[in-house]
Structure 1
């Protein structure tokens, strides 16, 4: 029998997640829609297997580089209209590996660096129209 995994401490309740999403929609989403002229992407999906594959790759490559505590930073991005399937330049999220090499100190009071030797991870799916939380 596999060992039961504990709920991570940084999990938030459904109500808090809904509040965060609703605040984004009301305060940013409406302004973006008005400025862009279309409803932009605001939710993104990757399978657990895809995420595990990337995390395993980051761990492996970081270990080979001597990075002992790698991390992931999430960035907002936007496709150029010419590379967007629907020709609009929708928003996207991508993941960047982080971690300081041995002997290096993190910048800005301990914030770790992006590890540009490991490719970023992108190409999830998004709902059209977006799915509310």
Structure 2
């Protein structure tokens, strides 16, 4: 038998409920305000993510950060950077953590590690791919 699934995995049904709730409570207002259907899903290959996580782990260790984290932020591209002259949504990953012994060194209150570069440039469906 394979490895045990990670503790924070959710069921497919839970994921579908989360996506439905987002779509029911947010996308109509966002799309109405923007005047177009914005993206709400983002894609990276596992290989890309593994490379980025390896970079974060290696560089964090050099800084004395033994348990770095990743925080995800919503963002939006300036209209001028978009092919269709629209400021589509995006997400980017930001490394977190502080050297051992510093306040706020871990968990969801960890400080952003501004010494390492965030990660972006995934792709998304236009229209969005539903879960």
Is this a same-fold pair by TM over 0.5?
yes
Unaligned runs of 5+ in 2: none
Which of 87, 92, 95 aligns to 2:93? It is 95
Out of 1, 17, 24, which is 1:19 matched to? 17
CA 1:110 to 1:50, structure 2 compared with 1: closer, same or farther past 3 Å?
Answer: closer
Question: Over aligned residues, Cα RMSD in angstroms?
Answer: 1.6
**Partners of 1:110 and 1:100 in 2: how far apart?**
12
Number of residue pairs matched by the alignment:
130
Length-normalised TM-score, structure 2: 0.94
Question: For residues 61-111 of structure 1, what are the alpha-carbon distances to aligned partners after superposition, in whole Å with 9 as ceiling and x for unaligned?
Answer: 00000001100000000000011222100000000000012221108x971
Corresponding residue for 1:46? 44
Residues in 1 aligned to 2:65 and 2:18: alpha-carbon distance in whole angstroms: 33
Q: Following superposition, which runs of at least 4 residues in structure 1 exceed 6 angstroms of deviation? A: none
Asked if 1:36 corresponds to 2:34, the answer is yes
Matches within 5 A, 1:1-133: 4-106=2-104, 111-133=109-131
2-structure distance, mates of 1:129, 1:110: 32
**Normalising by the residue count of structure 1, what TM-score does the alignment of the two structures yield?**
0.93
